[in-house]
Structure 1
Amino acid sequence: MTALLVGCAPTATAAPGGPPPARPAPGTTYAVGMRTFTLDPASARPLPVTVWYPSVGGAVAAGRFPVVIYSHGLHSLPELHAGLTARWAAAGFVVAAPAYPHTRRGATRFDRADVRHQPADGWRLIRHLVRLDTRGGDPLAGHLDVARVAAAGHSAGGFTTAGMFTSGRSGRLRAGIVIAGGGTAGSFAGPPAPLLFVHGTADRIVPATVGRAAYHRTTGPAAFLSLLGQGHGEYLNPGLPGFGQVLATTVDFLRWTLYGDQAAGRRLPGDARHPGVTTFETRPADQFGRAPA
């Protein structure tokens, strides 16, 4: 599988001028709105996108919210990950999840090797969201904090996420979450960024050794959350063992990296560890949880 998941450097968007200052993470849990659209519908790679966003009274909540690009795995769809992505939106993030043209469930022409092209699709979506934020009349306009973007994904979507962290990338992309995935050719070559890896220790589809190899290749603060005895992603289902730790850890991580919430960074180890269910480690230990550069 990993031999097919070769990365390619994205066309970078214009990088904002330096890290934005920290600001308070929301102290409330929002209702969640959802919308869909298709990016470049007439192109060779139309990209259906599902967006979850913080909502109040049926409208987008007041304020600007960091953005998370979420990538699905092979034969999957964005809505199958709503147990996690909708909860991220409730915590104060706009989550945009593309359905990739040749790896999604029901694709007319399925091709797992197309994963190599998906990092560029992720960057195409980021550029679209940058434009959408200034588009008069769009409900999300003025609500997208496009200087604070994270990428996340499961399985092939985890490899897609890693492939977005290459040299020459835009400074908009500030953090990544690789779930049951690993690295691609050229990934982690750019400026250091905080990365969180989530993996089941009994994963037979993408062995934990693949995720660990990627974890040890990172150049910035990184953490590894292990789901003990678990496979390829059952811990992503609400109510099943480990989901609570995955949710709490990923929310803490996104609050720390995108809002600059230092309290969330300090909470990470305690929220991640649960005897008999999870273990949690960081490298280098003296950097993880500090203010992101």
Structure 2
Amino acid sequence: MARVLRRSFLTLFAASGLTACSAPGSPTAPAPTAAKSAAPASKAPVPELAFNRGGDRPLPTRVWLPTGTGPHPLIYFSHGLTSQPNDYADLLAAWAAAGFVVAGPKYPHTWYEAPEYDADDVVNQPADAQYVITELLTSLGSHVDPQRIAAAGHSAGAITTVGLFSGSRDVRLKAGLLIAGRQMEQPSPFAGPAAPLLFVQGKQDKTVTYEQAYGAYNEVPWPKGFLELPDAGHLPHRDEPALVASTTTDFWRWTLNGDQAARQRLPESGLTSTF
């Protein structure tokens, strides 16, 4: 299975030109003023936890903590190629301000200052994600509700997230968000317990095309939503920051907190869904 997954990832990168999800060091988070329109900035400290899978896969993990006592739902976030979690800080802080613990590692070979940068290493990231989630549940203790965990990602991070709901299924996950995400050329079917998935896609994206993202959406057998942004490109969270922040926050409120009012607001964003 690992060899099949690796061939699929290599085919994906060659076919789509997915060699970088953002320019090295460039911010991929929404503008601060737009993020504040969705929720006030989190005032809690932002720690970094030093995880390492197998001794040779360092996974320093940034955590955004909400204010107030827990336990809170956990949102695990995977960055894109040549990015890191801080590049998405305003979006992730908006989720934390809404009451969610948000955590994301710098993957060892796909962030922009990786000592041995290797885009093909994305094939190993679903296992990294499962490891980090397990470590977070121990390290954060009462801050996190282990029954309310979700995964999100952008571009190659969204492909990592797809892996967590298919060939490397993590049954702990209750929902998922894919920003500019798609399946592999030889995809594993979505599997395991049903989990609502939300796709956020820029219609002008030339890296992960609209057709590729919608193709993955069509393969999801569970409740699902597709937010199409007609004027956005590969960084929809930056091109339409307020809309992406508010829609995704309502998605988390519904799927992780059972907030039916938030669910009812989702179609107002222009969302196509079977929720």
TM range (shorter): 0.7 to 0.9
Task: Give the aligned partner of residue 203 of structure 2.
Answer: 201
Deviations 1:142-196 (A, max 9, x none): 1111211110000100100111012674432000000001124325122221000
Task: Give the aligned partner of residue 115 of structure 1.
Answer: 122
- Distance in 1 (CA, whole Å) between partners of 2:86 and 2:168 is 31
Paired residues of 1:73 and 1:156 also in contact (CA < 8 A): yes
Task: Give the aligned partner of residue 63 of structure 2.
Answer: 51
Task: Give the aligned partner of residue 272 of structure 2.
Answer: 281
Match of 1:231 among 227, 233, 252: 233
**Bigger share in helix:** 2
Deviations 1:18-58 (A, max 9, x none): xxxxxxxxxx9653431002102771111110000113xxx
Secondary structure of the structure 2 residue equivalent to 1:31: coil
Instruction: Kindly provide the amino acid, as one letter, of the partner of residue 122 in structure 2.
Output: V
Task: Give the aligned partner of residue 214 of structure 2.
Answer: 212
- Distance in 2 (CA, whole Å) between partners of 1:41 and 1:35 is 19
Distance 1:34 1:171, change over 3 A: same
Secondary structure of the structure 1 residue equivalent to 2:181: coil
Moved over 6 A (4+): none
Paired residues of 2:66 and 2:99 also in contact (CA < 8 A): yes
Match of 2:79 among 52, 65, 72: 72
Instruction: Kindly provide the amino acid, as one letter, of the partner of residue 242 in structure 2.
Output: G
Task: Give the aligned partner of residue 91 of structure 1.
Answer: 98
CA-CA distance at 1:2 after TM superposition: 6.8
Paired residues of 1:76 and 1:105 also in contact (CA < 8 A): yes
Paired residues of 2:179 and 2:199 also in contact (CA < 8 A): yes
Match of 2:261 among 260, 263, 280: 263
Task: Determine what percentage of the aligned residue pairs are the same residue.
Answer: 44
Task: Give the aligned partner of residue 254 of structure 1.
Answer: 252
CA RMSD of aligned residues (A): 2.0
- Distance in 1 (CA, whole Å) between partners of 2:249 and 2:83 is 23
Paired residues of 1:51 and 1:97 also in contact (CA < 8 A): yes
Unpaired stretches in structure 2, ≥5 consecutive residues: 1-6, 13-38
- Distance in 2 (CA, whole Å) between partners of 1:158 and 1:112 is 14
The answer to whether 1:189 aligns with 2:196 is: no
Paired residues of 1:164 and 1:187 also in contact (CA < 8 A): no
The answer to whether 1:82 aligns with 2:89 is: yes
Paired residues of 2:9 and 2:122 also in contact (CA < 8 A): no
Unpaired stretches in structure 1, ≥5 consecutive residues: 7-27, 56-60, 133-139, 274-279, 289-293
Instruction: Kindly provide the amino acid, as one letter, of the partner of residue 192 in structure 1.
Output: A
Aligned residue pairs total 240
